[in-house]
């Protein structure tokens, strides 16, 4: 059997004091108490020899992610026995936390340690099978479901399936569990409980594969939450509404996936939800960053969705009122992305369901660097943003034609995260002056290196930029005479709706190119949020955001939906949309006078 170092105190006292027993029927299985093991820099050691921390830090990080997923994805109540590193509640306090909140499910999250360093993987401790066999059975299944998720979703091997260890006896002579948390959970009336030992801090492979990798800590927390959900039969639904453009004619609801977040390119990202429309639903569609609309993977009937709705309105809507889709994230742009969702009625009309905001991190080994512009004056500060740099990455600049050599002899900055995370998002700034000697006029190349040996990461395209003394060479986006377009705050105002990229570009002087908000190919109709670039070859002189009159939702058309959106934004019931497209008086807010003008714009469309 595995012996934990600094795990739980062995309880040998066999004299009963007053035990706060609570009937299992008074507790709710779907109210969950999470117990991040230990606290105050205590718990198992071992990872420290490889630059890691003591156990309680990892326990808390994993537990906080488990709490987040259970709340946001599955919509259940979750209570934590501690939320900071400074806390270290006693065993009774931890179990009482569950009892005080009518929580029947108790999961204590730990990481293991043993004096045989070859042992690795997950272990689950549960209450024994005497006195309350039903609790044992439930706890065993809970542990199995969690281990299956840790193995399948994170790659943590299984050391031992759920088991118990006894030490001492109860007053009735029956064996008592070794770990104080487990015997209290049973004797005080919880319905299920387990101690999750995610992996071994005493094993080199476990420490480096999981504990020293922040992304894996988050994955383990998510896996534990999903395992709990699998055991309890929870469905992904955070209870939040996906805002619908016309709530009078459609009802929508979606999973926590609509909240989006960060995703690594190439990883799986799934979303699901449902809606009901009085005209009946023929299909659901999605669009990435304003691109073409595509059907979701599956759309199917859910009678439970319409069961509690007004049958006089939605009674006929029993087909295709639910959807699921798994997104190909490799198609996302590195950086911010928007996934738009819509339903298609049987009459062929479209109605908006909502949007998912996703920030796509580069895949492992993929880095991404950007510049705000490509033309600088001697001595001017040059700003570069690097996202998703791999461990030990550097960014350096060389005069074009130079062979990368001693990095200290040139202008450079180090994009190297001290915590060695693999999903680094950091901003770096270097000044184009090297001491008293600025960069000379000429063309420079920005390279990304994977390490200090200056091996160029060939998956990254170098960025070329020019430094010169000609301030007049700085150009800006300028509307042609007679277009009634104005510029300011890096935006262009007054662009009409339903125009193509070519038509918009022709409204400006010089060589202008119009692209999507993410810098990819422009959509068929240019909407608010699209970008216009003034460029010459590979040199970009200026960039501005396009604001289309009356187009608050960014689809390139000004219509009644934008008017409804403007009213909601004015009332504070909707917080996303291009407010600049409806702010005609320029006071950075939408007022009654703006609504009046917007109504005229739409009427004269």
Answer whether 550's CB lies under 8 Å from 558's CB: yes
- What pLDDT, on the 0 to 100 scale, is given for residue 6? 26
pTM exceeding 0.85: no
Tell me the C-alpha distance between 571 and 584, whole Å.
Answer: 17
Q: What is the pLDDT of residue 450?
A: 46
Question: Are the C-beta atoms of residues 465 and 406 closer than 8 Å to each other?
Answer: no
The answer to whether 242 and 574 are in contact (CB under 8 A) is: no
Sign of the CA dihedral running 92, 94, 98, 104: negative
Give strand ranges (E) for 308-432.
322-328, 335-345, 350-361, 368-371, 375-377, 381-389, 394-399, 412-413, 424-431
- CB contact at 8 A, 496 and 526: no
pLDDT at 400: 63
CB 197 within 8 A of CB 125: yes
Match 């190297």 to its residue by tokens.
416
Rounded to whole angstroms, how far apart are CA atoms 215 and 212?
A: 9
Q: How far apart are CA 582 and CA 187, in angstroms?
A: 63
Using the structure block, give the residue that is written with the tokens 């090297």.
434
How far apart (Å, rounded) are the C-alpha atoms in residues 84 and 95?
18
Calculate the CA 483 to chain-centre distance. Answer: 42
The answer to whether residues 601 and 547 touch, using CB atoms and an 8 Å cutoff, is no
Q: Tell me, what's the pLDDT at 34?
A: 96
User: What pLDDT score was predicted for residue 479?
Assistant: 93
Instruction: Please give the Cα distance from 345 to 307 (Å, whole number).
Output: 20
Which tokens belong to 372?
A: 């705000």
Q: Give 28-83 as a 3 state SS string.
A: EEEEEEEEECCCCCCCCCCHHHHCCCCHHHHHHHHHHHHHHHHHHCCCCEEEECCC
Q: What is the pLDDT of residue 126?
A: 94
Give the N- to C-terminal CA distance of the chain in Å, as an integer.
77
**pLDDT score recorded for residue 406:** 36
Check if the beta carbon of residue 413 is closer than 8 Å to that of residue 386. Answer: no
User: What is the predicted pLDDT for the residue at 254?
Assistant: 35
User: Which residue stretches of the chain have pLDDT < 50?
Assistant: 1-25, 238-259, 390-392, 403-437, 450-460, 471-473
Per-residue DSSP letter, 277: E
**pLDDT at res. 106:** 95
As to burial, measured by CB atoms within 10 angstroms (0-12 exposed, 13-18 middle, 19+ buried), residue 5 is middle
Count Cβ atoms within 10 A of the Cβ of residue 429 and give its class: 0-12 exposed, 13-18 middle, 19 or more buried: exposed
pLDDT at 575: 65
Instruction: Determine the Cα–Cα distance for residues 102 and 24; give it in Å rounded to an integer.
Output: 9
pLDDT value of residue 180: 86
Residues recorded for the chain: 605
Closest CA to 187 of 240, 237, 150, 135: 135
Cβ(36)–Cβ(65) under 8 Å?
A: no
> Which residue, 31, 181, 8, is CA-closest to 91?
181
Question: In terms of Cα–Cα distance, which of 316, 339, 329 is closest to 366?
Answer: 329
| Cβ atoms within 10 Å of 524's Cβ, excluding its own | 11
- For the chain, domains (ranges, CATH) are 24-232 (3.40.630.40), 250-361 (2.60.40.10), 368-473 (2.60.40.1930), 486-603 (1.10.1330.10)
Cβ atoms of 384 and 356 within 8 Å: the answer is no
């Amino acid at each position: 059997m595995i012996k934990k170092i600094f795990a739980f105190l062995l309880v040998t006292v066999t004299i009963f004091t007053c035990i706060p027993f609570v009937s299992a029927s008074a507790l709710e299985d779907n109210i969950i108490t999470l117990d991040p093991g230990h606290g105050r820099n205590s718990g198992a050691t071992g990872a420290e020899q490889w630059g890691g921390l003591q156990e309680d830090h990892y326990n808390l990080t994993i537990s906080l992610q488990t709490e987040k997923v259970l709340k946001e994805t599955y919509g259940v109540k979750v209570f934590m026995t501690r939320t900071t590193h400074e806390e270290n509640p006693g065993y009774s306090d931890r179990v009482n936390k569950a009892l005080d909140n009518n929580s029947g499910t108790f999961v204590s999250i730990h990481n293991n340690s043993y004096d045989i360093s070859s042992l690795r993987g997950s272990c689950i401790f549960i209450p024994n099978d005497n006195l309350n066999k039903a609790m044992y059975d439930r706890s065993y299944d809970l542990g199995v479901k969690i281990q299956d998720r840790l193995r399948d979703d994170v790659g943590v091997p299984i050391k031992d399936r759920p088991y118990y260890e006894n030490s001492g006896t109860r007053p009735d002579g029956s064996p008592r569990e070794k770990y104080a948390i487990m015997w209290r959970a049973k004797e005080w009336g919880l319905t299920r409980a387990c101690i999750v030992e995610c992996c071994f801090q005493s094993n080199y492979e476990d420490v480096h594969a999981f504990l020293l990798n922040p992304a894996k800590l988050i994955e383990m927390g998510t896996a534990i939450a999903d395992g709990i959900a699998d055991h309890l039969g929870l469905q992904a639904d955070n209870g939040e509404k996906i805002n619908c453009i016309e709530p009078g004619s459609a009802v929508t609801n979606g999973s926590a996936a609509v909240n989006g977040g960060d995703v690594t390119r190439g990883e799986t990202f799934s979303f699901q939800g449902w809606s009901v429309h009085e005209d009946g639903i023929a299909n659901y569609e999605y669009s990435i960053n304003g691109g073409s609309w595509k059907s979701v993977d599956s759309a199917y009937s859910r009678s439970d969705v319409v069961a509690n709705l007004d049958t006089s309105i939605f009674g006929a809507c029993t087909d295709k009122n639910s959807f699921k889709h798994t997104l190909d994230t490799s198609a996302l742009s590195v950086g911010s992305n928007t996934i738009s969702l819509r339903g298609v009625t049987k009459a062929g009309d479209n109605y908006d369901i909502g949007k998912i905001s996703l920030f796509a991190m580069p895949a492992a080994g993929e880095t991404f660097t950007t510049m705000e512009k490509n033309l600088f004056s001697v001595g001017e500060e040059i700003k570069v943003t690097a996202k998703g740099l791999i461990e030990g990455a550097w960014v350096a600049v060389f005069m074009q034609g130079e062979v990368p050599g001693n990095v200290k002899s040139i202008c450079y900055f180090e994009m190297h995260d001290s915590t060695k995370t693999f999903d680094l998002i950091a901003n770096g700034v270097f000044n184009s002056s090297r001491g008293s000697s600025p960069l000379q006029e000429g063309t420079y190349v920005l390279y990304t290196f994977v390490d200090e040996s200056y091996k160029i990461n060939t998956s990254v395209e170098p960025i070329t930029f020019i430094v010169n003394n000609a301030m007049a060479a700085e150009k800006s986006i300028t509307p042609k005479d007679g277009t009634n377009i104005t510029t300011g705050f890096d935006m262009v105002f007054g662009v009409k709706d339903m125009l193509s990229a070519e038509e918009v570009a022709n409204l400006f002087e010089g060589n202008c190119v119009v692209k999507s908000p993410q810098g990819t190919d422009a959509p068929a109709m240019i909407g608010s949020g699209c970008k216009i670039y003034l460029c010459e070859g590979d040199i970009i002189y200026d960039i501005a955001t396009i604001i289309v009159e009356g187009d608050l939702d960014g689809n390139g058309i000004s219509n009644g939906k934008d008017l409804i959106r403007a009213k909601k934004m004015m009332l504070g019931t909707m917080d996303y949309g291009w407010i600049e497209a409806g702010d005609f008086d320029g006071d950075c807010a939408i007022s009654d006078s703006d609504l009046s003008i917007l109504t005229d714009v739409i009427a004269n469309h």
